[in-house]
A = this chain, B = another copy of it.
Amino acid sequence: MTSRIDTTVILGLGLIGGSLARSLRSSGFSSRVLGFGHREASLARGVELGVIDGYSLDLEDALAGADLVVIATPTLVAAQMLERILPVLKRRATMPVVTDVASVKGNLQRAAVAVWGSMPPRLVLGHPIAGSERSGVDASRADLFVNHRVILTPEPENETGAVSLVRDMWRSTGADVVDMPVREHDAVLAATSHLPHILAYALVDALAQSPVSDDIFRFAAGGFRDFTRIASSDPVMWRDIAIANRGALLEAIDQFEHHLGVLREAVANEDAGVMLETFTRAKQARDEFATMLQARSRAAK
């Protein structure tokens, strides 16, 4: 670890913000971690649990002594938060480094450029690919990010030192940090996460409205359980992600609809060749993915 800092301020103390706070305090990466939010009960609970050293309900007050600011609010709130804090921080002699944890990067980049005129040199956007079925500060864990990927999307305008600080912060949590352009990040997340959620929601909703929905759910087996697990995710969070990543998500949906249309025609025409080729290619890709995941999980042990 090459950086250590004095004061980190976490805006929004949920599962991700709380877990990052715990990790930064326990590793000593940050001498002090303060929280900001709207719900005092969560923040007070954070102090009680030893997640944060203190908190403020006033944004300017919370930002006053910050060396590093982490926006850890829900996706759409993160853009609003950025619009609120950038003008405040711009007035400082030395602006603290600012980063975030949201699932979409393009909307934050656009919000920042709209406020600042260009990408702020000390704003480094990031996305830890970690989570839990539980949420809230009570579910936070210092080891949430160990061996998880964190994607940073540094821009040419970014100060090298600011990028290094954010990278070091995530490395101190045990995460595996990689860089990626904003556009690619949003396309990859649309494909691997946002599109599958839309498909799972669409499927379960379609089946629930079927005249035989009782039997459908009565006779569904293990494959269906795994396939639809993500349809139990938080509807508000996924509505916000779909709005924030609208462009990349629409492209992913269109690409999927095209492939599904080709397979539908193959079924309609009993085109055994197209079906077998498609299923075989998909199985091969999925098997390679499973092998890679296993290797990664072995390496993590």
Contact = CB atoms under 8 A, between A and B. Distances in A.
A256 interface: yes
A249 B234 CA distance: 30
Nearest to A244: B270
B281 A208 contact: yes
B267 A207 contact: no
A184 B129 CA distance: 41
B217 A196 contact: no
A79 B150 CA distance: 52
B242 A282 contact: no
A246 interface: yes
A161 to B, nearest CB: 26
Interface of A: 129, 149, 151, 180, 184, 187-189, 191-193, 195-208, 210, 212-213, 215-221, 223-236, 238-239, 242-243, 246, 249-250, 253-260, 263-264, 267-268, 270, 272, 275-276, 278-283, 285-290, 292-293
21 contacts: A149-B219, A149-B221, A151-B219, A193-B223, A196-B228, A201-B282, A206-B256, A208-B281, A210-B255, A223-B230, A225-B293, A226-B227, A227-B229, A231-B286, A232-B283, A234-B283, A243-B267, A243-B272, A250-B264, A253-B264, A254-B264
